[in-house]
């Protein structure tokens, strides 16, 4: 019993100092910690301590993977490398040719023994159906070359005409660009002349001309909407400016650009009407026969040597004056009929020039320039050929 008591006393003596030191307050606080504070300290002690030399947060992030490039994404460009890879444009020095002249001609003669082509009757005005000759002369050509003609009608490109490649000669040579254009329907034209000597086409000249139609009535004319002061002068008045609403014409044709043709004091009654250009009589809108219907109308189809078609329509003629048949060929001096008042309240000729297609609702009128019908003009064009 005494031995047991002695052992217990010895244990208390050894344990008591350690227990007392554990319960003593910390060096930075005053008094005993509260149970809540003790828990906070305990949790903080459980967390690992960060190293003093920790890297900045941005440096700790893993490097981003490059974005996956799809078929539509652009490849990154090295601007320095791309600039050096671009082809250097060759500086153009003196051109290896000389343009002598470029003209629009009624006809061209040649070549003669001197191999010259000559422009005959330089002009900027033609009648529909006439052949337009394009002419240019070059000298001192010291390189291989080829030509290009660009033809525009009313601002729209309608044709490219290219030549073959001519090889370089031992000595500088002269050359002619001669081209026939048969695709002449009414309108305003521009032709650009271009040459390529091995470094791309360049425009060297540009020329303009108009294609007109002959007046369908004999006598002087002018475009206006009131009576001419002079007798026997025809007034060509735009149809829509006379107060008429924008309605469809025969066969639902668009006649907004049609003309009303009058003489002073309605002296036009019974005057003869002629085609504005050579052509062939067809059904109006592929529906109405010549002179048929309330307007006693006639439609004539015109076709260029290049195959392009256009039409001219004539309305309000005397019904008994129209004696044409479908398919009949007409010339500039073939009578169509006589001015009357069929389908209207006063005598006048309703005239329309059409593009489009000769089907119901597919004819569309457009503006055209008219040339007075005179005997001298008829004699001049009597020999028109589509050569």
Query: Are both 223 and 318 inside the same structural domain?
Result: yes
Residue 57 belongs to some domain of the structure: no
CB-based contacts of 299-302 (< 8 A; 24+ apart in sequence): 299/358, 300/275, 300/330, 300/336, 301/358, 302/128, 302/129, 302/185, 302/277, 302/278
Q: Which of 155, 177, 212 is the last residue of a domain?
A: 212
Pairing of strands 201-218, 125-127: parallel
Q: How many distinct structural domains can be found in the chain? A: 2
* Stronger pLDDT, 207 or 130, i.e. the higher one: 207
Query: Are both 233 and 347 inside the same structural domain?
Result: yes
- Residue 316 belongs to domain with CATH number: 2.70.70.10
Angle (CA) 290-293-298 rounded to 5° is 30
- Residue 134 belongs to domain with CATH number: 2.70.50.60
Query: Are both 231 and 154 inside the same structural domain?
Result: no
Residue 203 belongs to some domain of the structure: yes
Cα atoms in the 13 Å half-sphere on the side-chain side of 181? 29
DSSP code for 188: E
For residues 77-94, give the mean pLDDT. 49
* Region of poorest pLDDT, from 1-5, 163-167, 239-243, 315-319: 1-5
Backbone angles phi, psi at 21, to 5 degrees: -65, -35
DSSP code for 118: E
Query: Are both 227 and 336 inside the same structural domain?
Result: yes
Query: Are both 121 and 189 inside the same structural domain?
Result: yes
Query: Are both 203 and 235 inside the same structural domain?
Result: no
Query: Cα separation of 361 and 250, whole Å?
Result: 9
Residue 111 belongs to some domain of the structure: yes
Residue 36 belongs to some domain of the structure: no
Range of the domain at 147: 98-212
Residues 6+ apart with CB under 8 A from 332: 214, 274, 275, 277, 278, 378, 381
Residue 304 belongs to some domain of the structure: yes
Q: Which of 175, 194, 212 is the last residue of a domain?
A: 212
pLDDT level of residue 378 (50, 70, 90 thresholds): confident
Query: Are both 226 and 164 inside the same structural domain?
Result: no
Query: Cα separation of 219 and 233, whole Å?
Result: 6
Residue 383 belongs to some domain of the structure: no
Query: Are both 207 and 223 inside the same structural domain?
Result: no
Query: Are both 234 and 319 inside the same structural domain?
Result: yes
Query: Are both 206 and 224 inside the same structural domain?
Result: no
Q: What is the pLDDT of residue 216?
A: 96
Nearest one of 206, 231, 208 to 220, comparing CA atoms:
231
Residue 183 belongs to some domain of the structure: yes
Residue 168 belongs to some domain of the structure: yes
Q: What is the pLDDT of residue 86?
A: 42
pLDDT level of residue 215 (50, 70, 90 thresholds): very high
Query: Are both 207 and 353 inside the same structural domain?
Result: no
Query: Are both 199 and 232 inside the same structural domain?
Result: no
Backbone angles phi, psi at 244, to 5 degrees: -75, 145
Q: What is the pLDDT of residues 242-263, one digit of tens each?
A: 555 556 788 899 999 999 998 9
On whether the CB atoms of residues 301 and 269 are closer than 8 A, the answer is no
Q: Is the pLDDT of residue 89 over 80?
A: no
Q: What is the pLDDT of residue 4?
A: 52
């Amino acid at each position: 019993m005494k031995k047991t008591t002695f052992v217990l006393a010895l244990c208390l003596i050894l344990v008591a100092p350690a227990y007392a030191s554990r319960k003593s307050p910390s060096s930075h606080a005053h008094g005993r910690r509260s149970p809540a504070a003790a828990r906070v300290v305990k949790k903080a002690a459980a967390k690992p301590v960060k190293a003093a030399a920790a890297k900045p947060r941005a440096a700790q992030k893993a490097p981003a993977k490059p974005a996956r490039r799809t078929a539509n994404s652009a490849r990154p460009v090295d601007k320095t490398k791309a600039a050096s890879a671009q082809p250097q444009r060759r500086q153009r020095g003196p051109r290896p040719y000389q343009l002598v002249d470029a003209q629009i001609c009624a006809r061209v003669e040649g070549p003669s023994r001197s191999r010259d082509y000559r422009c005959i009757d330089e002009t900027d005005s033609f009648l529909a159906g006439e052949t337009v000759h394009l002419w240019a002369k070059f000298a001192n050509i010291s390189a291989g070359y080829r030509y290009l003609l660009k033809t525009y009608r009313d601002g729209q490109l309608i044709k490219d005409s290219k030549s073959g490649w001519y090889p370089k000669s031992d000595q500088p040579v002269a050359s002619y660009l001669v081209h026939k254009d048969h695709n002449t329907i009414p309108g305003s034209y521009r032709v650009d002349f271009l040459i390529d000597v091995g470094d791309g086409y360049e425009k060297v000249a540009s020329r303009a001309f108009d294609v007109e139609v002959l007046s369908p009535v004999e006598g002087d004319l002018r475009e206006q909407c009131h009576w001419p002061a002079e007798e026997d002068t025809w007034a060509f008045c735009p149809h829509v400016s006379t107060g008429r609403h924008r309605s469809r014409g025969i066969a639902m044709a668009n006649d907004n650009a049609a003309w009303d043709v009058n003489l002073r004091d309605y002296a036009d009654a019974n005057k003869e009407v002629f085609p504005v250009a050579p052509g062939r009589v067809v059904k109006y809108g592929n529906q109405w026969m010549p002179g048929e219907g309330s307007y006693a109308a006639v439609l004539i189809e015109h076709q260029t040597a290049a195959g392009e078609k256009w039409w001219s329509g004539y309305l309000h003629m005397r019904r008994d004056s129209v004696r044409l048949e479908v398919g009949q060929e007409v010339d500039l001096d073939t009578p169509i009929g006589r001015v009357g008042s069929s389908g209207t309240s006063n005598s006048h000729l309703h005239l329309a020039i059409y593009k489009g297609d000769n089907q119901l609702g597919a004819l569309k009128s457009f503006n055209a320039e008219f040339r007075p019908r005179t005997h001298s003009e008829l004699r001049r064009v009597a020999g028109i050929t589509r050569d």
